[in-house]
Amino acid sequence: MPEASLRVELLAVTPNALSLIYAAFRQCYHAGFVADMWPKLLSGEVDREVQADFVSKVLESGHDSPVEHVCFTFAAEGISRACSHQLVRHRIASYSQQSQRYVTDSMDYIMPPAIARIPEAKARFEAFMQEVGDAYADLRDILVAHGRKSKANEDARFVLPQAAETKIVVTMNCRSLHHFFNLRCCNRAQWEIRALADAMLEKCKQELPPIFSRGGARCEMLGYCPESGKFACGKYPTRENLT
């Protein structure tokens, strides 16, 4: 039962993402039909730097709905069920998650860093993970022996902990991603989903910098912490302290 490590890969992005967002923004302010300019955008007749500059300036005004036309799809592994339960609470997204019905003899798991740093806590955690793995295997074998057969896994999995590793495919549009990053890149977010969000944000910045160069926790975009002083981490001043 090995400990798993986080891995995030970008699988797909809407083709011609920057040009598509540019066209969507232009349609909001353009008297003509953007389909007529689309070939020029794809051919490079309208320079990409011009497109990026226009998009960035409009985004600074607070108009961001056109970025919904572009989606990113990620594959993530080495996250716990505790993390995936937080992730799927973001509703404007699509998810395809590995089923625990297909866990077999071994169960990979995620160990919190706070536990890993304390030798006695780490030893107890690892011992319990082994106990869980053994219990899962024993229950599955017992259920098979009593005729449950192919359904044994789905009942034996009830003993698996939130630390159990899972794999998931996630698709979000750019606006949903910004909301996700605003919340989950915050220092107050739980450590594991923050690590996932940070890894996803880095992929987005590399792929589409005009949209994500200023992505992250809300304080990074605002220049101050929108939380009250009671909850602020101290990285930025709170709104009250600005006045």
Clarify whether residues 16 and 67 are in a common domain.
Answer: yes
3-class state of residue 158 by DSSP: helix
Q: Tokens for 155?
A: 């009942």
Domain membership flag for residue 92: no
Nearest to 28 by CA among 1, 67, 81, 60: 67
pLDDT computed for residue 75 by the predictor:
98
Domain membership flag for residue 80: no
Is 23:34 a contact under the CB 8 Å cutoff? Answer: yes
**Which residues, given as ranges, of the chain have pLDDT below 70?**
1, 103-105, 243
Q: Which of 26, 140, 157, 184 is catalytic?
A: 184
Domain that holds residue 152: 111-162
Domain membership flag for residue 96: no
Question: How many other CB atoms are there within 10 angstroms of residue 4's CB atom?
Answer: 20
* This prediction's pTM: 0.93
pLDDT computed for residue 104 by the predictor:
67
pLDDT computed for residue 91 by the predictor:
94
Clarify whether residues 173 and 233 are in a common domain.
Answer: yes
pLDDT computed for residue 131 by the predictor:
95
Domain membership flag for residue 18: yes
| Most distant CA atoms of the chain, gap in Å | 72
Q: Tokens for 150?
A: 């192919």
CA–CA distance, 228 with 225 (Å, rounded to integer): 8
Domain membership flag for residue 105: no
Domain membership flag for residue 104: no
Q: Is 26 a catalytic residue?
A: no
Clarify whether residues 180 and 237 are in a common domain.
Answer: yes
- Structural domains of the chain, count: 2
Clarify whether residues 175 and 121 are in a common domain.
Answer: no
Domain endpoint, select from 162, 190, 222: 162
Clarify whether residues 125 and 12 are in a common domain.
Answer: no
pLDDT computed for residue 243 by the predictor:
63
